[in-house]
Amino acid sequence: MSPTIRKVTVLGAGTMGAGIAQAAALAGFSSVMFDLDPAALQRGHDRAVSQIDDGVRRGKIAADQADRARGNLTSSSDLATAVSGTDLAIEAIPEIMDLKKKVFAELSRVCGASTILASNTSSLSITTIAEAASSPSRVIGLHFFNPPHIMKLVEIVRGELTDDAVLEASRKFVSALGKEAIVVKDSPGFATSRLGLALGLEAMRMLEQGVASAPDIDRAMELGYGHPMGPLKVSDLVGLDVRLSIAEILHRELGADQFRPPDILRRLVGEGRLGKKTGQGFHRWDDTAKKKA
């Protein structure tokens, strides 16, 4: 039988962690945020609360649901307190394997024996992360999308040793959040990063070869295929440095030429043109565009 999840602890109160904790609190789970950096923890908590308030203002969240969610949401700068009695710990710390392994080893020591240990990694192997845990069978990938309180998809990544009951409990959790799950095996780039990157890198090569301009390549997929946003815009939003590092991982691990990072991507990253976050990538992002995007 799959364990019942009532209490969730999110590690890392940054871009993803705060939104995941917010989504869990809104869905009625007791939701605790933990961060090594007390200032980041406070910012994450404030952001989650202000996004709930914003949801009420925009008529997306009922006032009583918002009250309950604020009550469900707590934070702690002490790890043992944050995970005390938790059924599911979700790690959302930076995308560095050694850091993740350290946290999973620590979680194995401080969490109860039945706590599910999940990672929000977008590209690292769940099986490798799980090697650091005392029982790798309770480790799983729960890959949320940005912004996590809005995006409907959660990609569930099953490690080589992930237990069936852990997968089942994770599916129920995702569904209780009002989100949809896809289940993928632990392979480089999972489904989402691999497919998204294949399209993005091909669009970059087409731009290099002068097939069409950046706006026209994006319009091709927006108007011709109904994608909400073209592949170069998506790359700008994700961050070109992030795209480059995932391309390098996929190229190395899958050995497929379509994941070889195009020269234009390396050049833009070298010049510090990282996309929306620096105001310039394949497109220009002024303050207005930032607000719209």
Q: Residue with the closest Cβ to ligand NAD?
A: 14
Max intra-chain CA distance, the chain = 58
**Alpha helices in the chain, H assignment, sequence order:** 15-26, 38-57, 63-72, 79-83, 97-110, 126-130, 164-176, 192-208, 214-225, 231-238, 240-254, 263-270, 287-292
Residue 64 C-beta: closest distance to ligand NAD, Å: 29
Any contact of residue 94 with ligand NAD (CB under 6 A)? Answer: yes
Which range of residues in 30-38, 51-59, 169-177, 195-203 is near ligand NAD by CB under 6 A?
30-38
Any contact of residue 95 with ligand NAD (CB under 6 A)? Answer: yes
Any contact of residue 216 with ligand NAD (CB under 6 A)? Answer: no
Judged by CB under 6 A, the number of residues near ligand NAD is 23
Strand ranges across the sheet with 139-144: 73-75, 30-34, 7-11, 88-91, 116-119, 139-144, 153-158, 180-185
Residue 216 C-beta: closest distance to ligand NAD, Å: 26
- Which residue in 120, 260, 141 sits closest to 198, CA to CA? 260
In the set 6, 36, 81, 290, which binds ligand NAD (CB under 6 A)? 36
Residue 201 C-beta: closest distance to ligand NAD, Å: 18
Any contact of residue 37 with ligand NAD (CB under 6 A)? Answer: yes
Any contact of residue 121 with ligand NAD (CB under 6 A)? Answer: yes
Any contact of residue 122 with ligand NAD (CB under 6 A)? Answer: yes
Q: Tell me the two tokens of residue 180.
A: 């949809």
Any contact of residue 17 with ligand NAD (CB under 6 A)? Answer: yes
- Work out the end-to-end distance of the chain between its first and last CA atoms, rounded to an integer number of angstroms: 43
Positions in the binding site for ligand NAD (CB under 6 A) = 11-17, 34-37, 40, 92-95, 99, 103, 120-122, 145-146
